[in-house]
C-alpha cells in the first residue's frame, strides 16, 4: 500500500479510494448496543438520570395543569374567564396573522424592492450535508444543483459534508462509498488527521475528496465518525467566513492549517476570491430549476437581507402522488408557509426559520462569524438542563436564525415563495412521529428564545407565546371539547374563526399549485388536515412528551450494519 506523505503533518494523499487504509474506509457500524448506537448518532455524554427526573417533574406539572383544565371544563360558567382565552388562542392568532397578510400583501406589492445586481457577480457555494442517504437521493439532489438556470456567469462550487460511514436500511454501500466510487467524477483523496475541532471539542479525522460533478467543482469532507448535521454546518460556514477574511490574516478557528489550506486552494482554483452566498440543501431534496436564482434575487434587495428561506413542498417523485402521507404532509407544509412565515416576511421581514433543505445565507460576520457560530455550536454537557439540551440537539433550522435575529436587530431574513424545493416525506406513521418530535420540541425552545429576546417585535413575541401555550395545553383542549358547552354566541365566534382560517387555507389553491394535478393534491390534503389535524397533532404532542429525554434521530436516521439489517 503506497502513500505519498504531504509536507504538512497529518495529511496523506491517496491516488485511489481502494488504497485508503481500512480504518478510514470501512466504518460500518453494528448497532447491537445502545452505547454503540449513541456513538453512531453522536449523542453527547449526559446525566441521563437527572434529565429523566427533570422530564418526570415537567410532565407531572404539565399533566396536573391539563387535568385541572379538564376539570374546570365541566363548569364552563364558573371558569370561562380562563377557558375561553385558551380555546380562542390558536384560532384567534391564526386569524390575526391571515388578516395581517391580507393587509400587508398589497402594501408590499405597491412598494416592491428591486434586486440590485452588483457589478461583480456573486460567488456561490452549495452546502450539502449527508449521512445515510442512498445513491439515488444524492444524485437527484446534485442533478438539481447542476441544472440551475440563470447562473452560468456566476462561479459556483459544491461542498459535501458526509457524517461518518454508515449505511441506511437496505443500502449495499455506505453514503461515503457512493460518493467516492459512483458519484464524484475523477476524485482525488486526501486523509487529514485531526482536521478540525468538532463542536464537542474533540479533534476529527477526515477524508477529503476533490473532483467534479457535471462540470461543477466538488469538495467533499467525509468524517471518520458522525458528529451531527449541526457540526458540519458550523465547519463550512466558519471556513467560508475565514476564507473571505484571509487577507487580514484572521485566526483559522476550528480548522487545522492543513484543512484550511486545502479548502482555500480548492476555492481559488475554482476562480473564487470570495464567497458571497452559501446555499444549503438536504441530500433528500431537489431544487426547482429556478430555485437558487430566485433566492438570490431576494437577497439582492438589500445588504440588510442576510438570509432567505425557500418554499418547501413534498416531493411527488419520491412518494405515490395520491398516498395519504404525501397528500397530508404536502398540504401541511404549504399551510405552514402561507401563515406564520408569510406574515413574518410581509411585516417584520424577520422569518424565524430557514429550513435546512432550502436556504440561502449571506456569508458575513452576523451569520457565519465566530460569535454567532459559537452560540449556535454550543454542545450540551452533563450539567445542562433538559430544555437547553433539546435546543442544542433538535433545532438547527431555527436556532441559528433566531440567534442571528437576537444579536442583530437591523437585519432581515426573508421568504421567497418562488424558490421551490421538493423534499422526501416520511412514508410510515412512526417515522412521521420521529420527525415531528424533533420539529415540535426544537421550535418550542426557539420560541422561548424569541419570547425573552429584547429584539423580538411584539407581534412575533405574541405569536411565539401563543405557540408555546397552545402546545402546553393541547391535551386539555383536545379532551375538553367533548365536555364543555359554550354560549351560542361564543360558539358562533369560534365557528367564524375556524371558517375564516379554513377558507384561507383553501384559497391557497389559487396561489401555490402550478398545475391542475397539484391543485387536486392540495385540496384533498387540506381536507385531510382539517379533519385529521387535531388527532394527528394530539398524537405528536403525546409522542414528543413521552420521548422528551431521547435525543437520537429515531427512525428518521436508521442505520444498519454490514448486512444491511437494522439492529
Q: pTM score > 0.75 for this model?
A: yes
- C-alpha cell of residue 237: 460556514
Of the listed ranges 2-16, 52-66, 250-264, the least confidently predicted one is: 2-16
Q: What Å distances lie between residue 267 and 138, 144, 159, 270, 422, CA to CA?
A: 22, 21, 10, 5, 28
DSSP letters for 22-44: HHHH-------SHHHHHHHHT--
- C-alpha cell of residue 363: 456569508
With a cut of 80, say whether residue 26 has pLDDT above it: no
Give pLDDT tens digits for 158-190. Answer: 999 999 998 888 889 999 999 999 999 999 999
Q: Within 13 Å, how many C-alpha atoms sit on residue 203's CB side?
A: 8
Which DSSP state fits 252? -
Full domain range(s) for residue 272: 119-426
Most confidently predicted of 8-17, 28-37, 501-510: 501-510
Q: Return the pLDDT at 15.
A: 39
Nearest to 548 by CA among 30, 63, 33: 63
Structural domain contains residue 75: no
Mean pLDDT within 408-412: 94
Mean pLDDT within 68-97: 93
Q: Return the pLDDT at 218.
A: 98
Q: What value does the mean pLDDT of the chain take?
A: 89
Q: Return the pLDDT at 86.
A: 94
Bigger pLDDT: 123 vs 384: 123
CATH of the domain at 228: 3.90.550.10
Bigger pLDDT: 514 vs 250: 514
With a cut of 70, say whether residue 32 has pLDDT above it: no
With a cut of 50, say whether residue 2 has pLDDT above it: no
As a whole number of angstroms, the distance between CA 223 and CA 203 comes to 11
Give pLDDT tens digits for 540-555. Answer: 999 999 999 998 765 5
| Residue entry with cell 418562488 | 418
Structural domain contains residue 27: no
- Contact partners, residue 213, CB within 8 Å, separation at least 6: 142, 146, 158, 183, 184, 185
Structural domain contains residue 300: yes
Structural domain contains residue 520: no
- Contact status, residue 368 vs residue 238, Cβ threshold 8 Å: yes
Q: Return the pLDDT at 139.
A: 97
Q: Return the pLDDT at 393.
A: 87
* Confidence tier at 560 by pLDDT (50, 70, 90): low
**φ and ψ at residue 260, rounded to 5 degrees:** -60, -45
Structural domain contains residue 244: yes
Of the listed ranges 34-48, 61-75, 427-441, 486-500, the least confidently predicted one is: 34-48
Structural domain contains residue 460: no
* Confidence tier at 424 by pLDDT (50, 70, 90): very high
- Contact status, residue 209 vs residue 180, Cβ threshold 8 Å: yes
Q: Return the pLDDT at 302.
A: 95
Q: Return the pLDDT at 523.
A: 97
DSSP letters for 404-460: HHHH-TT-EEEEEEEEEEEE----SHHHHHHHHHHHHHHHHHHHHHHHH-TTS-HHH
Structural domain contains residue 556: no
Structural domain contains residue 537: no
Q: How many folded domains does the chain comprise? A: 1
Amino acid at each position: 500500500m503506497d502513500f505519498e506523505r504531504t509536507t504538512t503533518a497529518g495529511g496523506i494523499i491517496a491516488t485511489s479510494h481502494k488504497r485508503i487504509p481500512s480504518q478510514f474506509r470501512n466504518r460500518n457500524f453494528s448497532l447491537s448496543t445502545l452505547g454503540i448506537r449513541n456513538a453512531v448518532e453522536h449523542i453527547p455524554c449526559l446525566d441521563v438520570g437527572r434529565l429523566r427526573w427533570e422530564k418526570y417533574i415537567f410532565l407531572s406539572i404539565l399533566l396536573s395543569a391539563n387535568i385541572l383544565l379538564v376539570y374546570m371544563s365541566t363548569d364552563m360558567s364558573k371558569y370561562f374567564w380562563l377557558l375561553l382565552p385558551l380555546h380562542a388562542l390558536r384560532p384567534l392568532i391564526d386569524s390575526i396573522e391571515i388578516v395581517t397578510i391580507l393587509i400587508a400583501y398589497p402594501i408590499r406589492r405597491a412598494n416592491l424592492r428591486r434586486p440590485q445586481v452588483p457589478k461583480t457577480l456573486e460567488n456561490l457555494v452549495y452546502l450539502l450535508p449527508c449521512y445515510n442517504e442512498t445513491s439515488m437521493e444524492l444524485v437527484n439532489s446534485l442533478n438539481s444543483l447542476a441544472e440551475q438556470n440563470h447562473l452560468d456567469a456566476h462561479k459556483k462550487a459544491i461542498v459535501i459534508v458526509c457524517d461518518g460511514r454508515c449505511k441506511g436500511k437496505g443500502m449495499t454501500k455506505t453514503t461515503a462509498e457512493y460518493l467516492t466510487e459512483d458519484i464524484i467524477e475523477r476524485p482525488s483523496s486526501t486523509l487529514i488527521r485531526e482536521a478540525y475541532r468538532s463542536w464537542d471539542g474533540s479533534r476529527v479525522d477526515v477524508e477529503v475528496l476533490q473532483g467534479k460533478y457535471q462540470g461543477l467543482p466538488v469538495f467533499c469532507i467525509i468524517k471518520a465518525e458522525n458528529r451531527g448535521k449541526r457540526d458540519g454546518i458550523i465547519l463550512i460556514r466558519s471556513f467560508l467566513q475565514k476564507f473571505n477574511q484571509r487577507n487580514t490574516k484572521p485566526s483559522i478557528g476550528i480548522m487545522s492549517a492543513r484543512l484550511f489550506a486545502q479548502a482555500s486552494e480548492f476555492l481559488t482554483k475554482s476562480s473564487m476570491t470570495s464567497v458571497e452566498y452559501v446555499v444549503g440543501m438536504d441530500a433528500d431534496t431537489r431544487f426547482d430549476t429556478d430555485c437558487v436564482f430566485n433566492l438570490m434575487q431576494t437577497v439582492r434587495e438589500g445588504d440588510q437581507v442576510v438570509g432567505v428561506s425557500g418554499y418547501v413542498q413534498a416531493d411527488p417523485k419520491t412518494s405515490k402522488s395520491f398516498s395519504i402521507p404525501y397528500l397530508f404532509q404536502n398540504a401541511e407544509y404549504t399551510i405552514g408557509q402561507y401563515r406564520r412565515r408569510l406574515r413574518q416576511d410581509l411585516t417584520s421581514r424577520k422569518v424565524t426559520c430557514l429550513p435546512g433543505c432550502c436556504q440561502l445565507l449571506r456569508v458575513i460576520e452576523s451569520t457565519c462569524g465566530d460569535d454567532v457560530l459559537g452560540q449556535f455550536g454550543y454542545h450540551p454537557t452533563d450539567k445542562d438542563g433538559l430544555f437547553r439540551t433539546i435546543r442544542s440537539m433538535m433545532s438547527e433550522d431555527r436556532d441559528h436564525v433566531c440567534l442571528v435575529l437576537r444579536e442583530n436587530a437591523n437585519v432581515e431574513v426573508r421568504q421567497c415563495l418562488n424558490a421551490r424545493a421538493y423534499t422526501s416525506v416520511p412514508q410510515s406513521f412512526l417515522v412521521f412521529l420521529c420527525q415531528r418530535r424533533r420539529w415540535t420540541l426544537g421550535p418550542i425552545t426557539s420560541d422561548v428564545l424569541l419570547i425573552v429576546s429584547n429584539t423580538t417585535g411584539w407581534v412575533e413575541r405574541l405569536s411565539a407565546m401563543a405557540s408555546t401555550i397552545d402546545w402546553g395545553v393541547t391535551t386539555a383542549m383536545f379532551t375538553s371539547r367533548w365536555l364543555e358547552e359554550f354560549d351560542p354566541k361564543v360558539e358562533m365566534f369560534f365557528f367564524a374563526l375556524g371558517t375564516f382560517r379554513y377558507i384561507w387555507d383553501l384559497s391557497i389553491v389559487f396561489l401555490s399549485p402550478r398545475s391542475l394535478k397539484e391543485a387536486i393534491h392540495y385540496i384533498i390534503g387540506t381536507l385531510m388536515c382539517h379533519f385529521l389535524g387535531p388527532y394527528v397533532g394530539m398524537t405528536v404532542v403525546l409522542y414528543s412528551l413521552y420521548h422528551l429525554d431521547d435525543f437520537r434521530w429515531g427512525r428518521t436516521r436508521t442505520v444498519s450494519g454490514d448486512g444491511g439489517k437494522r439492529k
